[in-house]
């Protein structure tokens, strides 16, 4: 059996048409052990993030910045729809929050204006724009916990 071992803060980016497949032997892909950090809460947060991803079905989304994109693990929070009237029509916005592993964003951290998240919720694929969180300082993310393992982004979709 061959093994591909990813370190805890490591990811693989495949370009369109690329793939991973087993050769003549079985291929096992796994994460290496995380070394104990200086703070036990950092390790606990990493375990929480791993558990949340697994509990939500290891969902992924495409994070885009300009013409570049990368696959990120996401934990979606419950969507909230807010209808409103405009020009004798009823429109609505759907606000969503997604937790994302900070290491998945890597050199694209922090999220920026114009970034988008393409997510398939089982009913179809939607493209959401990353929005300001409302935090002081005008950030496009919120830290979840103190270990800098995961962040929460706010995205909105307008529906007519």
Confidence (pLDDT) at 69 = 92
Query: Above 80 in pLDDT, residue 110?
Result: yes
Confidence (pLDDT) at 134 = 64
Strand partners, 85: 90
pTM for this one? 0.64
Confidence at 9, pLDDT banded by 50, 70, 90: low
> What tokens appear for 91 in the block?
């429109």
What average pLDDT does this structure show over 15-27? 81
* Mean pLDDT across the chain: 79
Phi, psi of 74 (to 5 degrees): -130, 150
Query: Above 80 in pLDDT, residue 64?
Result: yes
* Calpha distance 134→152 (Å, rounded): 12
Confidence at 118, pLDDT banded by 50, 70, 90: very high
What average pLDDT does this structure show over 44-72? 89
Query: Above 90 in pLDDT, residue 129?
Result: no
Poorest-pLDDT segment among 20-29, 36-45, 145-154: 36-45
Poorest-pLDDT segment among 51-55, 93-97, 131-135: 131-135
10-16 contact pairs (CB < 8 A, 24+): 10/103, 11/103, 11/104, 11/106, 13/70, 13/71, 14/71
Helix, strand, coil proportions of the chain in percent (round to 5)?
A: 15, 45, 40
Q: Say which residue, 26 or 148, is predicted with more confidence.
A: 26
Query: Above 60 in pLDDT, residue 23?
Result: yes
Taking the CA atoms of 111, 9, 95 and 61 in sequence, report the sign of the dihedral they define.
positive
Query: How many CA atoms within 13 Å lie on the side-chain side of 142?
Result: 15
């Amino acid at each position: 059996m061959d093994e591909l071992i990813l370190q805890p803060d490591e990811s693989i980016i495949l370009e369109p048409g690329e793939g991973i497949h087993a050769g003549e032997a079985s291929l096992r892909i796994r994460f290496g052990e995380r070394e104990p950090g200086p703070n036990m809460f950092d390790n606990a947060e990493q375990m929480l993030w791993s558990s949340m991803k697994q509990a939500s079905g290891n969902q992924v989304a495409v994070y885009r910045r300009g013409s570049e994109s990368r696959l990120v693990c996401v934990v979606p929070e419950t969507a909230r729809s807010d209808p409103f009237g405009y020009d004798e029509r009823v429109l609505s916005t759907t606000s969503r929050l997604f937790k994302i592993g900070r290491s998945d964003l890597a050199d694209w951290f922090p999220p920026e204006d114009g970034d988008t998240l393409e997510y398939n919720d089982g009913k179809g694929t939607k493209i959401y724009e990353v929005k300001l969180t409302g935090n002081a300082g005008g950030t496009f993310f919120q830290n979840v916990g103190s270990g800098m393992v995961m962040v929460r982004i706010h995205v909105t979709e307008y529906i007519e």
